[in-house]
A = this chain, B = another copy of it.
């Protein structure tokens, strides 16, 4: 478990800082399984988790949804057979805030539960 996963999200609204290019490079090193694609002009964090069947993927997607609601920061959770794709970004700033990296690390930690 990385340090990131132990941190807490701070309140985030329009005007909050996006991560700088330098921060991005550093933070991505802590999340080796995550990619940072640009989708519809918005930089996001994305990871595909694979499972043996639909039920296991479904259970994981519900864990992620539960955490998202608890932290009140909501990702995209794409549930398919044997596969969950989680995407984090901060809608209010149209990009990545440090919160998103914290949530990505917390998502990885859910897998180990």
Contact = CB atoms under 8 A, between A and B. Distances in A.
Interface of A: 54-55, 58, 61-62, 65, 68-69, 74-81, 91
B76 A79 contact: yes
Interface centre among A61, A78, A79, A80 (most CB of B within 10 A): A79
B78 A77 contact: yes
Contact of A69 (B58, B65, B77, B80): B58
Contacts of A80: 74-77
A22 to B, nearest CB: 29
Scoring A58, A68, A69 by chain B CB atoms within 10 A of each residue's CB, the highest score goes to A58
B91 A69 contact: no
A65 B68 CA distance: 19
A62 B74 CA distance: 16
Contacts of A77: 61, 78-80
Given A54-B74, A74-B54, A65 B79 contact: yes
